[in-house]
Amino acid sequence: MIVNLDAYIAELRTWIGTPFKHAGRTKGPEGGVDCGNLLALSAINIGLPVADTGEYADTDRLGAIIAFLKDYCEPVAVADILKHGPEPGDILLFRGRRIMHHMGCITKEQTMIHAWRTSGINKVVEVPVPQDWWDMLHSAWRPRQEL
């Protein structure tokens, strides 16, 4: 499946300011979304046939996340990301301190959009990737694009 990165990133940006809510699925200040649903629902909203996960437990969902990513992305070696930097559209998975995994999408250089529930932010933001997160990078995925 091919991803139109401009459309995907534009859709992700429409969620900015939406509060963090585990397993949330509603855009806007009265809604809520988490990091996984932000990426999945944005894909659905641009017409990608992503399986709707519905409600899920607050547990490690790495297997489900990887299955979703394999449909639309190719893995990128973490060493390559750390050496050359990520590209817009890259989806990064992190090992967290208090959560098992977190994910977001690179929008430009080292800026990421994600639903952030720590550090008192608790909403969807587009911010530089915190420097200490690079040590927690678990995997990176690059969407297949139109040529």
8 A C-beta contact, residue 91 and residue 78: no
pLDDT tens track for 23-58? 899 999 999 999 888 998 998 899 887 766 655 555
When the pLDDT of each residue in the chain is averaged and rounded to a whole number, the result is 87
8 A C-beta contact, residue 140 and residue 91: yes
What's the confidence (pLDDT) of residue 100? 60
Rounded CA Rg of the chain: 14
Cα angle 6, 65, 106; round to 5: 30
Residue-range domain boundaries for the chain: 5-143
- State mean pLDDT over 67-79: 88
Residue with the two structure tokens 């969902």? 61
What's the confidence (pLDDT) of residue 58? 57
- State mean pLDDT over 108-114: 94
- State mean pLDDT over 97-124: 86
Share of the chain above pLDDT 70, in %: 85
Per CATH, which fold does 5-143 belong to?
endopeptidase fold (from Nostoc punctiforme) (3.90.1720)
pLDDT over threshold 90, residue 125: yes
Q: Is 44 exposed, middle or buried (0-12, 13-18, 19+ CB in 10 A)?
A: middle
Task: Give the pTM.
Answer: 0.89
In whole angstroms, what is the distance from residue 101 CA to residue 96 CA? Answer: 6
8 A C-beta contact, residue 20 and residue 122: yes
